[in-house]
Structure 1
Amino acid sequence: MQRDPFYYVKAISKWRFVFMLVAALACAWITVYILKLFIIQFVNRSTTLWGLYIEFIQLFGPAKYNQYIESFGMIFQFLCILGFFILYIYLFYERAKRSYHDKCFQNMLREISYIAKGNFTHKLNAPPIKELEELAMNVDNIVEKLKISIQEERLAEQAKNELITNVSHDLRTPLTSLIGYIGLIQQDQYRDEVELRYYIEVINEKVIRLHQLIQDLFEYTRVQYKGAHLHKIPVNISEIVGQLTAQYRYQMQEAKLECRQFISSGKLMVLADSNKLGRVFENLLWNAIKYGKDGKYIDIHACEDHKMIKVTITNYGSPISKIDLPYIFERFYRVEKSRSEETGGSGLGLAIAKGIIEQHEGFITADSNGEKTIFTVKLLKLEKEESSISSGLKS
């Protein structure tokens, strides 16, 4: 910020400025007058100086001496008054400057006290004083960081409440069924062994779902807080995709879906944890099967993209709305809001997938329109030299 060198003068009111000029002039004249009387008294009392004064009069003559005194005395007196006038103006200016500094400092203290009461939207009005400008800037930075911290704390509290609500709902539903069916078995409220086996099968399904939900919660927590250890080795993406396609062939046949693979002929090597990466693509492929039943195909593309390995999984089922699309990688977020067991999982799969990909320094995105939904994963390509070094370390 460029400061005006005359901002102190501009801050002084006109009547006060005039008063300072008049006072400085009066003080200068009085000072010169007193100084003149003092010099005269001093000369009169000093025998040596008085003798020199008499000698000057005799040397130049009384008439000529008086002429010199009148001529040079007026000029000397004017210069003395001017000098003292400037001195007093400077002193008055410094006093006004100090008073202005004190006033600005007091105003800033009041503003800081106002902010300290919780008014974090208020910005300090910094005066054109270097030190106070820096103070105001630092205080504003602290307040801004405090606002961000408070906002993050509120979001964390909101996320915690949502987490408790969602986990409670997802745990309560199968637990309620478990309690109900176990109660029926304990009270022998079944007709025959066939009905008993049916109850036990339902209980088994609910237990499996509870186990999967708890596993997802632990996995999400480890990924979210960087607690999951990654055992990175050279991995061929083509092999992982091929294995998963074979693994889910039966599910795709049941959903009447055909998997079309477009995978580059060469090796698509990345340095990754194969188990974690397999879970990511397993989740994406399972989602494509679950939500792509209205379409006929699932397309898997894998290729090099500059220094990245790019994998896309496309389904042609029901699209994801533009409202839901930005949030599908958030924990417990479901496009289908009823949180039914039949229409959705734990709501953690995509959040876990995103966390795993970010741990691998990669990217995962989603795009959807009226025709298709595409999930894209990008991972850093493993160069040949790096692959050889990693293989050597492994061996």
Structure 2
Amino acid sequence: MKQTNSPNSIPIKSSRIVLTSKEKSELIIEGIVTVILLLLVNIAVLAVARVLIDDSLAVKNVIFGFKEVLVKTFFNYSFYSMRNAAVIFMVILDLIILYWRLIRRYHQMQLRHIIKELHYIANGNYGHRIPFELSGDLGRVIESINGLVDSTVEAIEEERRIEKSKDELITNISHDIRTPLTSIIGYLGLIEEKQYHNEEDLLKYTHTAYSKAKQMKVLVDDLFEYTKVRQPSSPLKVIEFDMAQLLEQLSVDFELDATRKGVTIDVIATPIPFIMTGDTEKLVRLFNNLLSNALKYGGNCSKILLQVEEVGNEAIITVSNNGDPIPENALNQLFDRFYRVEESRSQETGGTGLGLAIAQSIVTLHGGYIYAKSDQEWTSFVTHLPLNNNN
């Protein structure tokens, strides 16, 4: 019975391959046939040697000369002792040949078992591994096959994840586009059918359709940006710049929206100027998304703090707000595309659910990482970037 394991489990190993009754019979027959053949070869060799010795005077002289040397050297060995030594030599040689043939046949049977296991895996049982622990070349072959199967299973799982991710992306995009598109078609249909009472209704319908069209454009722009920064080969236009100045400019850009909501934005940089390298266009998009996120979703927020400090070879940039905390179970999902902590509130604020996913991709392109933390006082998005980017 086959033994199956999950793709990530360690395969159960056996110390040896257990031969079947048929294979044991084959091995015994192989030994018997080999012994018979060796006996025939030995008899033939002895017969040929005897004929040569009896018929050739030169051969006799050589043998008797060799005998005299042995007699003087090795304690008067008799002719019979020489013959016995020759027989022992032939027996040892026969045993070596017999062992070689049996072990070769045994290795062939081992290889047959390995091929059978490989066919079983090839039939779709990717959770199975060849469960034999052998030494030598066959052991290395088994390790290579199991390693190849592991890599194949991992590639298949990755392909499935990518396919599932694509399906989810299409589903989410379709849902997020359909909602405003339905409103646009509905209000334009009312205008087309002249189902409005006065100019005020007409302006209201056109304004709503216009707002929904802008919402769709934001989604399309975010989606385009997301797919662009998700490409590993996406080029970075790396230049030297002052991060402190970049954050100050962003705080000025958001000052009007922040004032309307009663929020103040402060920037703290150490040192000043804070010189580093990176793609400023993408980094502006990164911190623009983080600031927008703080303003939109930082409920009861009165202060946003932008901090940058140098630690070793890294720049650590923190975007914090003192609004309502994010639930612990949501922190690890914040950077998933289309994820929203509160669906209803996100719909009200018009978020696409791609902002933080784009931010994470930009950070990854720069060779850094980003994470979120939240408590009763501050909700912070912490970005680690290399000071000198060589991408």
Matched, 1:140 2:146: yes
Measured after TM superposition, the shift of residue 257 of structure 1 is 2.5
- After TM superposition, the structure 1 stretch with the greater mean CA deviation from structure 2, 178-187 or 370-379, is 370-379
Secondary structure of the residue aligned to 1:294 is: coil
Measured after TM superposition, the shift of residue 223 of structure 1 is 0.9
Which AA in structure 2 matches 1:342? E
> Residues 12-61 of structure 1, C-alpha deviation per residue, up to 9 Å, x if partnerless?
98xx89x979x979x7799589949974x77777799999xxxxxxxxxx
Matched, 1:323 2:329: yes
Measured after TM superposition, the shift of residue 275 of structure 1 is 2.5
Matched, 1:272 2:278: yes
Which AA in structure 1 matches 2:281? N
User: Contact 2:315–2:385 (CA<8 Å) still a contact in 1?
Assistant: yes
* Paired position in structure 1 for 2:357: 351
- After TM superposition, the structure 1 stretch with the greater mean CA deviation from structure 2, 301-310 or 167-176, is 301-310
Alignment partner of 1:156 out of 144, 162, 167? 162
* TM-score, normalised relative to structure 1: 0.77
Instruction: Measure the CA separation in 1 of the matches of 2:191 and 2:214.
Output: 19
Measured after TM superposition, the shift of residue 355 of structure 1 is 1.8
Matched, 1:241 2:241: no
Which AA in structure 1 matches 2:285? R
User: Contact 2:340–2:346 (CA<8 Å) still a contact in 1?
Assistant: no
- Identity value in percent: 32
* Paired position in structure 1 for 2:226: 220
Matched, 1:332 2:338: yes
* Paired position in structure 2 for 1:375: 381
Measured after TM superposition, the shift of residue 337 of structure 1 is 4.2
Instruction: Measure the CA separation in 1 of the matches of 2:48 and 2:384.
Output: 95
* Paired position in structure 2 for 1:185: 191
Instruction: Measure the CA separation in 2 of the matches of 1:209 and 1:134.
Output: 59
Instruction: Measure the CA separation in 1 of the matches of 2:267 and 2:45.
Output: 107
User: Contact 1:190–1:196 (CA<8 Å) still a contact in 2?
Assistant: yes
Q: 1:84 to 1:20 in 2, by over 3 A?
A: farther
- Where does 1:80-99 land on structure 2 (aligned, <5 Å)? 80-99=86-105
* Paired position in structure 1 for 2:303: 297
> Residues 235-272 of structure 1, C-alpha deviation per residue, up to 9 Å, x if partnerless?
21112211221222232233332333322351112223
Equivalent residue pairs, number = 358
Measured after TM superposition, the shift of residue 334 of structure 1 is 2.1
Q: 1:96 to 1:258 in 2, by over 3 A?
A: same
- Where does 1:68-147 land on structure 2 (aligned, <5 Å)? 72=78, 75-126=81-132, 128-147=134-153
Measured after TM superposition, the shift of residue 164 of structure 1 is 0.8
* Paired position in structure 1 for 2:216: 210
Instruction: Measure the CA separation in 2 of the matches of 1:45 and 1:234.
Output: 100
Instruction: Measure the CA separation in 2 of the matches of 1:34 and 1:144.
Output: 55
User: Contact 1:233–1:274 (CA<8 Å) still a contact in 2?
Assistant: yes
5+ residue gaps, structure 1, are 1-6, 52-67, 387-395
Alignment partner of 1:260 out of 266, 271, 274? 266
Instruction: Measure the CA separation in 1 of the matches of 2:165 and 2:45.
Output: 81
- After TM superposition, the structure 1 stretch with the greater mean CA deviation from structure 2, 366-375 or 107-116, is 366-375
Matched, 1:362 2:373: no
* Paired position in structure 2 for 1:170: 176
* Paired position in structure 2 for 1:232: 238
Secondary structure of the residue aligned to 1:351 is: helix
Secondary structure of the residue aligned to 1:323 is: helix
Q: Tell which structure's C-alpha radius of gyration is larger.
A: 1
Q: 1:187 to 1:32 in 2, by over 3 A?
A: closer
* Paired position in structure 1 for 2:70: none
* Paired position in structure 1 for 2:68: none
Secondary structure of the residue aligned to 2:309 is: strand
User: Contact 1:336–1:344 (CA<8 Å) still a contact in 2?
Assistant: no
Instruction: Measure the CA separation in 2 of the matches of 1:353 and 1:157.
Output: 23
Secondary structure of the residue aligned to 1:189 is: coil
User: Contact 1:236–1:268 (CA<8 Å) still a contact in 2?
Assistant: yes
- After TM superposition, the structure 1 stretch with the greater mean CA deviation from structure 2, 296-305 or 89-98, is 296-305
Instruction: Measure the CA separation in 2 of the matches of 1:30 and 1:233.
Output: 84
Instruction: Measure the CA separation in 1 of the matches of 2:55 and 2:232.
Output: 95
Secondary structure of the residue aligned to 1:346 is: coil
* TM-score, normalised relative to structure 2: 0.78
User: Contact 1:295–1:317 (CA<8 Å) still a contact in 2?
Assistant: yes
